């Protein structure tokens, strides 16, 4: 599967933004999908994940315990081969390159980047104060 993330841009603090991750290739509904982000000079961190059917979602980073619940919402439309990340009440610290990733070997959701086999190229989100 090939992934392409888009929808990033420059927004002001408090704004909302929706990112999209479009997939091509093998049956999209057979992949769990996650969103990660990487800020300048920082490690890549987990944002959200969604199950193959979209019934289950997860927002808590297993490494740090940080939760994106409440401000970020992940969803998917398998008919459109697309996963979305709706972000609200954006803060300057949300500034990062956002990546989507897919994993097809297990139905379990994972917050570890190493658990994903396919990655999109990333889309930059910049939140000004």
% of the chain with per-residue pLDDT over 70: 100
Q: What angle do CA 71, 111, 107 make, to 5 degrees?
A: 110
Write out pLDDT tens, residues 85-98.
999 999 999 999 99
Contact 120/28 with Cβ under 8 angstroms? no
Share of the chain above pLDDT 90, in %: 83
Can you give the length of the chain in residues? 129
Checking if the pLDDT of 26 tops 80, the result is no
**What pLDDT shows up at residue 82?**
97
Contact of 69 with 60, CB cutoff 8 Å: yes
Q: What is the pLDDT of residue 106?
A: 77
Region 112-127: mean pLDDT is: 95
What would the pLDDT profile of 27-76 be if each residue is shown by its tens digit? 899 999 999 999 999 999 999 999 999 999 999 888 888 888 899 999 99
CB neighbour list of residue 119: distance below 8 Å, 6 or more residues apart: 3, 99, 100, 101
pLDDT mean over 119-127: 97
């Amino acid at each position: 599967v090939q992934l392409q993330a888009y929808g990033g841009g420059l927004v002001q603090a408090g704004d909302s933004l929706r990112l999209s991750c479009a997939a091509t290739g093998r049956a999209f509904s057979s992949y769990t999908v996650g969103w990660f982000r990487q800020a300048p000079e920082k490690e890549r961190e987990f944002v959200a994940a969604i199950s193959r059917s979209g019934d289950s979602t997860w927002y808590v980073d297993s490494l740090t315990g940080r939760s994106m619940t409440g401000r970020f919402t992940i969803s998917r439309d398998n008919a459109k081969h697309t996963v979305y990340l709706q972000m609200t009440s954006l803060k300057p610290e949300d500034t990062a390159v956002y990546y989507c990733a897919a994993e097809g070997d297990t139905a379990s959701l994972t917050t570890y980047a190493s658990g994903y086999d396919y990655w999109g190229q990333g889309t930059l989100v910049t939140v000004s104060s």
